[in-house]
Amino acid sequence: MRQIPVDTATATVMVAKNPQPKVKDRRTGEIATDAETGAKLMTVDVMFAANDEVEILSVTVPEPGISGELTMGTPVALTGLVARPWENEFNGQKRHGIAFRAVAVTSLVETAAKSKAA
């Protein structure tokens, strides 16, 4: 599947909703895992502001890639963010969208505090 790298260098990114486990099957409550590592996948909703536009993105990230205290409003860095177009058909209805995935979501609060202390 095609992956499109997303440049976050000029964007402002903040947590919009605390990390939640990504549910693979809503009927059974099964949690999604990374196919390569087996790590539990999490979903972090972020406010992504760039080019005078703001969007809320739901980003999937492996649980070990979440670092720092990620609460609403926390500025974060998104490492290895990619966009993946998707399309499926359910009950005769075609649906499509863009899924976002990152290697890591890191709080910038601790980084800023450490650089001020130095």
Residue of 81, 82, 86, 108 lying closest to 96 (CA atoms): 86
Whole-model pTM: value is: 0.84
pLDDT 10s digit of each residue in the chain, 118 long?
A: 689 999 999 999 999 999 999 998 888 989 999 988 999 999 999 999 999 999 999 999 999 999 988 999 999 999 999 999 999 888 889 999 999 999 999 999 865 555 555 5
Query: Which pLDDT score is estimated for 103?
Result: 96
At 18, list the tokens.
């605390």
